[in-house]
Amino acid sequence: MTVVTLAVLSLGWLWQSALPSVAYYWLLTRPEAGDANRPSLDLPGYVADIQHRPIAGLKDNVSGVAYSPETGTLFAVINRRPEVAELSLDGKLLRRIPIDGGNDPEDITHVAGNQFIIVEEGDQSLHWVRIGPDTETIALGMGPRLRLNYGAFDNFGFEGVSWDAKNERLFVVQEMLPLRVLTIDGLEQSMALNTLDLDVQQWKSDEFSSFFTQDLSAVSLHQPTGNLLLLSQMSAMLVEYAPDGEAIGMMALQAGMSGLTHTVPQAEGVAVAPDGTIFIVSEPNLFYRFRPPPRT
């Protein structure tokens, strides 16, 4: 094996290992990050109490996941064949609902009542849908739809979505090339008044490169603190950002960290309950639950 080949293989291993992202995080995060005076989930203290559990009844392509306070359950999207699966908080399948008109749903977020938003990666579109206890089919073409053609390479479009109920704002993440987090304001008012007055902006971290990760696979807002959780499957980490963009915590998803016996293989969706419990789904059909550290 030549020196050049060895160097290439070593660089490839480093890239896949996610170690550069972890090192980059610790290098750039300021000492005051995670200050006790700033509301924080305290991600380094989280421990997995359910890990690497296959979701019985689902074979593959489990993507995003959302927590619904209305039902106290989780709603996950499957992108091939498109459908929504309702799950218990310990990862048991409760029901499956086919999506009619869907192509590549990547994430879902709860808005209010039985209203949800599903993001489609292929055409960078957002779809408002209703999922009630008796819903048997979800028709994407029947409700409001918003398409944001921001430009993306094939399969690197919108990967995550999360609703901020307090500020009536939507967060949308683009996977990579570029890594991007968008905020959309004015959605509720526009729909209520049948007008089009939206404010779309790019949300950024205050760090040097905006983000520490190699990609963005999902987003979830923790409403009690207003903090944003950004998930990366390539870097195998979950990073917490304060509303002003400061990175204040990180949970590593590698073996030997956060109570994990194996690295989370492909973390695609994240949801956080009001009590701080974090749920992650990983392709093909794996379920993880992380409990917060005890509060003193």
Q: What is the pLDDT of residue 22?
A: 53
- The pLDDT tens digits for 147-168 are 877 655 555 568 899 999 999 9
Has residue 169 been placed in a domain? yes
Q: pLDDT digits over 168-206, tens only?
A: 999 999 876 778 898 998 777 666 656 666 788 888 765
Q: What is the pLDDT of residue 211?
A: 64
List the one residue out of 296, 283, 222 whose CA is nearest residue 43. Answer: 222
Tell me, what's the pLDDT at 73?
98
Name the residue with tokens 């789904």: 281
Q: Is residue 296 part of a domain?
A: no
Contacts of 238 (CB under 8 A, 6+ apart): 43, 229, 230, 231, 232, 250, 251, 253, 267, 270, 278, 280
Which tens digit of pLDDT belongs to each residue from 43-57? 999 999 999 999 999
Helix (H, G, I), strand (E, B) or coil at 4: helix
Does 25 score more than 90 pLDDT? no
- pLDDT (tens digit per residue) in 32-43: 444 557 789 999
- Which range among 3-17, 70-84, 189-203 shows the weakest confidence by mean pLDDT? 3-17
| pLDDT at 268 > cutoff 50 | yes
Whichever domain contains 19, its CATH number is 2.120.10.30
Q: What is the mean pLDDT of the chain?
A: 83
Q: Is residue 108 part of a domain?
A: yes
Helices (H), 141-195: 187-193
- The total of structural domains in the chain comes to 1
pTM, two decimals, is 0.86
Domain assignment of residue 275, given as a range: 3-291
User: Is 80 a member of any domain?
Assistant: yes
Q: What percent of the chain has pLDDT over 70?
A: 78
